[in-house]
Amino acid sequence: MRIIFTILLLAVFITGAIFLQIFLSKKENKWPGLVLPAITLFFSILAVLGLTFYMPATLTEQSFKIILNAVQIPKVATLLAAIYIVILYNIPTAILLGIYYTCRDKLKRNREIEKMSVQDL
C-alpha cells in the first residue's frame, strides 16, 4: 500500500512539474520558462560534485590495483561514472527544455500570425 501511495505521489509531482513548465513557458517573458531547467541542471552539477567529493579515491585505487594491476583504471571509472550521472540527471533538463522550446515556438508562431493579420487590415 505504501509503494502505491509513493508512486501516485511521484506521478502527481511529475505531472505538476510538467504543467508548471508549460505555464511558465507560455509567459511573455522568456526567463520564467528557464527556471525549472536551470534547477534540474543545478542538481545534476551537485550530483557530479557529490560523486567527486564523496567517492573514496584511495579505496577505489587500491581495489582496482589489486584486481586489475592498473593505475589509470580508477580515473577512467570515475570519469565514466561522472558522465553517466550527468546524462542521467540531465534527462529531466532535456525534457523541460523541449517543453520550453515547443511552447515558445507556438507563441512565436501565434505572434507572427497576429502581425500578418494586423498588416492585412
Residues 3-16: pLDDT tens digits?
Answer: 999 999 999 999 99
| Mean pLDDT for the stretch of residues 59-79 | 58
80 vs 27, 33, 52, 83, CA distance in Å?
A: 39, 31, 12, 5
Residue 119's pLDDT band (boundaries 50, 70, 90)? confident
Predicted TM-score of the model (pTM): 0.76
Looking at residue 14, its pLDDT comes to: 95
- Angle (nearest 5°) at CA 80 between 42 and 67: 140
Sole residue written with cell 540531465: 90
